[in-house]
Amino acid sequence: MISKLKLDAKAIEMARNAAGSIAEDVQNFIDQHTTVAVERTIARLLGIDGVVDGEYPLPNTIVDHIIKGGGLGLGVAYWLGNTMVYTGNNPQEIAEAVASNQLELTKIPPQDITRVKNAIHEIAQKAASKIWSNRQKRQERINTIGEGNKPYLYVIVATGNIYEDALQAQAAARQGADIIAVIRSTAQSLLDYVPYGATTEGFGGTFATQENFRIMRKALDEVGEEVGRYIRLCNYCSGLCMPEIAAMGAMEGLDVMLNDALYGILFRDINMQRTFVDQYFSRVINGYAGIIINTGEDNYLTTADAVEEAHTVLASQFINEQFALQAGIPEEQMGLGHAFEMNPDLQNGFLLELAQAQMAREIFPKAPLKYMPPTKFMTGNIFKGHVQDALFNLISIWTGQGIQLLGMLTEAIHTPHMQDRYLAIENAQYIFNNCKDLGEEIVFKENGIIQKRAQEVLVEASELLNQIKEDGLFKTIEEGKFGGVKRSRTGGKGLKGVIPIEEGYFNPFIDLMLREERRCQ
């Protein structure tokens, strides 16, 4: 592709290489650790589901039990496999026995390790095959009923009642939406367990539960048949249960997951060690399940200035890309994020936004870039807001963004009403159709404002990445380089759940999923 922005290919390569070293450095840390969330995920994938006393999830019960016995460094897979060989029971039966205090896993004599691994591998293989078949099912549906054009129209539903959400989602699909994101209750990110069952009274959204995933998947499949377009389902793979949510989503056929490597650290004050380890396994699962991840760079711009800090967005995109590659996620599944968040009073602000969007497009040519609408400078003046969203839509079609998170004219007032969503979709469809090939027709002025801006941002991002490579990512976050938010290596929530792995530890899914994924690429 010829760069319309005259970006220096060498500078891009240098930035990418720096990001690669940064991710590798963190990967060395990740490979030596596990977390309670990772282990609960393995338990879930091995078939453990359900709750004790109507609330406490069995995967938590089993992991807490092993911690108490001092054995988590060997991993839940080892203890389950050992018990399976010893008792002949399956993981669910074992978990139930543990919940009713009939078994103590860490007291069971060690069985032949080959048999232990084989026992686990057999179930793991079945679980992985089910996820793989979901992935194939998705592709078959897309092949038979079709899908919308890019940029996909992405809207949210946020009633707090999953059944109401399902209705709203179907209405949105009929109006033209391609992706439905079910807003998650803000409280969930800091819960160290996944709630169980359907949500009917959530605050600011519903919980990400397996039952809620199932209800929405069914509703979207129904309406997809009706409108003749596969409708993608999106949820939030973030917070203290990142990999568990990935596993649940993979099992229930989700298509898109918010899944950022740094977001939880910066904006939810989750411990960085915990987040790095969790995000890795969650991404291995998302990659394997064919789920498009959405990264959260747009969030930096809610706290930092979009003009001055544009390079941190690009730097973070590079880092997210490298973390995703480590976890086996192909470029086609990397919904790298950015946003239209400059102050609307800024002279030529539109040109700078255009430069940023085009730059992301050129640097990550295969990624279905996720473009976020104006939020920070939405005022409650719904009429002006609708115009701001129109400008945002114009840039998106012009620069070929992948996923268009539709701006709502009522942003900053309330979560979208049905008509807000309709107006947003109408706005985007009008502009996407009316300006469809604009990007093919227009070139940018040599050394003009747009070209120069993009070149400058790339240089600054490259410098930042080289600095991070020197300092390490941990220290960089400690210094508040992203989003202006400072977090310490040992601060934040969830550090207690990070455990160094011991000799003999194994997570059967990492090899299984990475191998399969890479074979298919």
Partner 1 sequence: MSIENIDFRRVKPYGDTLNDGMVQLSFTLPVPYGEEGKEAARRLAHSMGLDEPNVVYSKDMGGGFSYYIMYGKCQHTVDYSSIEVVKMEVDTLSMEEVEEFIGKNFTRDIVVIGACTGTDAHTVGIDAIMNMKGFDGHYGLERYKGIEAYNLGSQVPNEELVAKAIELKADAILISQVVTQKDVHIPNLTQLVELLEAEGIRDKIVLACGGPRLSHELAKELGYDAGFGSGSYAEDVASFVVNEMVKRNLK
Which residues are marked as active site? 263, 298, 370
- Within residues 190-219, the interface with partner 1 by CB under 8 A covers 190, 203-204
- CB of residue 410 to partner 1, shortest distance in Å: 11
**From 200, 343, 434, 447, residue interacting with partner 1 (rule: CB under 8 A):** 343
Task: Kindly state whether residue 37 participates in binding partner 1, applying the rule CB under 8 A.
Answer: no
- CB of residue 186 to partner 1, shortest distance in Å: 4
Q: Phi and psi of 296, rounded to 5°?
A: -110, 30
Task: Kindly state whether residue 366 participates in binding partner 1, applying the rule CB under 8 A.
Answer: no
Instruction: Read off the DSSP letter of residue 521.
Output: -
**CB neighbourhood size of 90 (10 A):** 15
**From 304, 363, 405, 501, residue interacting with partner 1 (rule: CB under 8 A):** 304
Smaller CB distance to partner 1: residue 9 or 418? 418
- CB of residue 172 to partner 1, shortest distance in Å: 9
- Within residues 273-292, the interface with partner 1 by CB under 8 A covers none
Smaller CB distance to partner 1: residue 390 or 412? 412
Residues in the chain: 521
Task: Kindly state whether residue 356 participates in binding partner 1, applying the rule CB under 8 A.
Answer: no
Report the distance separating Cα 142 and Cα 119, nearest Å. Answer: 36
* CA quadruple 445, 447, 450, 451: dihedral sign: positive
CA-CA distances (angstroms) from residue 339 to 302, 450, 481? 9, 17, 18
Q: Using the rule CB under 8 A, give the single segment among 28-36, 135-143, 302-310, 365-373 that binds partner 1.
A: 302-310
Nearest to 508 by CA among 111, 67, 119, 101: 119
Task: Kindly state whether residue 380 participates in binding partner 1, applying the rule CB under 8 A.
Answer: yes
**From 110, 448, 484, 500, residue interacting with partner 1 (rule: CB under 8 A):** 484
Task: Kindly state whether residue 189 participates in binding partner 1, applying the rule CB under 8 A.
Answer: yes
DSSP 2-62: --TT---HHHHHHHHHHHHHHHHHHHHHHTTEEEHHHHHHHHHHTT---EETTTEEHHHHH
Smaller CB distance to partner 1: residue 412 or 495? 412
Burial group, residue 86, by CB count within 10 angstroms (0-12, 13-18, 19+): middle
Judged by CB under 8 A, the number of residues near partner 1 is 35
* Token pair listed for 474: 């941990």
Q: Using the rule CB under 8 A, give the single segment among 57-65, 167-175, 281-289, 321-329 that binds partner 1.
A: 167-175
- CB of residue 484 to partner 1, shortest distance in Å: 6
Q: Using the rule CB under 8 A, give the single segment among 1-9, 54-62, 102-110, 171-179 that binds partner 1.
A: 171-179
3-class DSSP assignment, residue 360: helix
Smaller CB distance to partner 1: residue 190 or 325? 190
Q: Using the rule CB under 8 A, give the single segment among 32-40, 105-113, 264-272, 388-396 that binds partner 1.
A: 264-272
Angle at 283 between CA 282 and CA 285, to 5 degrees: 70
**From 92, 302, 429, 467, residue interacting with partner 1 (rule: CB under 8 A):** 302
- CB of residue 356 to partner 1, shortest distance in Å: 19
Nearest to 474 by CA among 268, 276, 326: 276
Q: Which residues pair with 309 in a beta bridge?
A: none
Task: Kindly state whether residue 376 participates in binding partner 1, applying the rule CB under 8 A.
Answer: yes
**From 160, 195, 296, 508, residue interacting with partner 1 (rule: CB under 8 A):** 160
**From 387, 418, 442, 520, residue interacting with partner 1 (rule: CB under 8 A):** 418
DSSP run (H or E) holding 232: strand 232-236
Task: Kindly state whether residue 305 participates in binding partner 1, applying the rule CB under 8 A.
Answer: yes
Task: Kindly state whether residue 381 participates in binding partner 1, applying the rule CB under 8 A.
Answer: no
Q: Using the rule CB under 8 A, give the single segment among 29-37, 124-132, 179-187, 384-392 that binds partner 1.
A: 179-187
Q: Using the rule CB under 8 A, give the single segment among 68-76, 135-143, 165-173, 387-395 that binds partner 1.
A: 165-173
Structural contact between residues 138 and 290, judged by C-beta atoms closer than 8 angstroms: yes
DSSP 57-115: EHHHHHHHHHHHTT-GGG-HHHHHHHHHHHH---HHHHHHHHHTT---GGGSPP--HHH
Task: Kindly state whether residue 187 participates in binding partner 1, applying the rule CB under 8 A.
Answer: yes
Query: Rg of the chain over CA atoms, in angstroms?
Result: 23
SS (H, E, C) 416-483: CCHHHHHHHHHHHHHHHHHCCCHHHHCCCCCCCHHHHHHHHHHHHHHHHHHHHHHHCHHHHHHCCCCC
Task: Kindly state whether residue 111 participates in binding partner 1, applying the rule CB under 8 A.
Answer: no
Site string for partner 1, 419-458 (x = CB under 8 A): x--x------------------------------------
Residues that bind partner 1 (CB under 8 A): 158, 160, 167, 170-171, 174-175, 185-187, 189-190, 203-204, 267-269, 302-305, 343, 375-376, 379-380, 412-415, 417-419, 422, 484
